[in-house]
Structure 1
Amino acid sequence: MKKLFILLLVIATHQVKAEVELVPLNMELGYWETTSEMDIEAMLASIPESQRETIRAMMSSRMKIPVVKQCITQDSLNNMEKQMKESFKSAGNDCDLKVNKSTSEEFSGVLTCAGGATTMTISTKSINSKRIESQVIADMGAMGKNNITTIGEWKAATCPEGIK
């Protein structure tokens, strides 16, 4: 799941079925940090009003999404498809990805997992070579929709020890 929030654009499947060729985004090489924020209110919309406050309190205290730290190399940037496959394979997901658009400035696609039970619509933009912004709408069927905003920021040309 770590890779999902890294490039978001790094959305993966066991067998990527891309009709559009994946193009590396305009990104500086080196050390990146990615933060993500979930729209808790949108998630709560499908829950009865009488239970929302209790669930909101539980989610606020437990749903801290960590900052993801990653080293982007020329090889990893050029081989997004491989990273995407490995990302979801390690998480044990069986998903299909439909790439709608892939340019150096923008990526969009729809990830469908578990026979259609979960779908994620992903829109990623390279604001500039040091900032990537993504919007993910995850539709989890009966559990409702989750809106996730992800911001990746370049920090340095060299990566700290131990960051992959």
Structure 2
Amino acid sequence: MQNRILVSACLMGQPVRYDGRAKPLLHPAIERWQAEGRLVTICPEMSAGMKVPRPPAEIGNGATGEDVLAGKADVVELTGGDVTAQFLLAAENAVALARKTGCRYALLIDGSPSCGSGFIYDGTFAGRRQAGNGVTAAALKAAGVDVFSDREIEQLIDRLGQ
């Protein structure tokens, strides 16, 4: 079996984002990898029992996923609800799935407090981006999975040597 890739469900066209939408990534490599059976799809938040739609969430106080994993930051909803426990479970589920299915790579939607790997939002719900990883992206990286954002698919293709 060729290298397997964990991929955000929303990138595969599943309407699982907080707002009930998908954000499909249309690319010939996705189609090829899907036909080859190399893609393992997950929505970390859904795997942790979160509903769709759900209030938007951000990592508070300009912190990152690594801070959440270290117990130094929380993930909060726009409504004020603390969803840190769900995001930690989501990250654990993604790492467990990656290990179980042999995924050495992940292709995740950027900007998400879970899957973001190039940028996340700063916790103010004002649309301000900051560099950093979401909770799941940070956990996958810590587990040795190479994480790529949806904007980095060409780099993933290069990394796979295809």
**Structure-1-length-normalised TM-score:** 0.32
**Structure-2-length-normalised TM-score:** 0.32
Which of the two has greater strand per residue?
A: 1
Which of the two has greater helix per residue?
A: 2
- Greater relative contact order: 1 or 2 (C-alpha under 8 angstroms, separation 6 or more)? 1
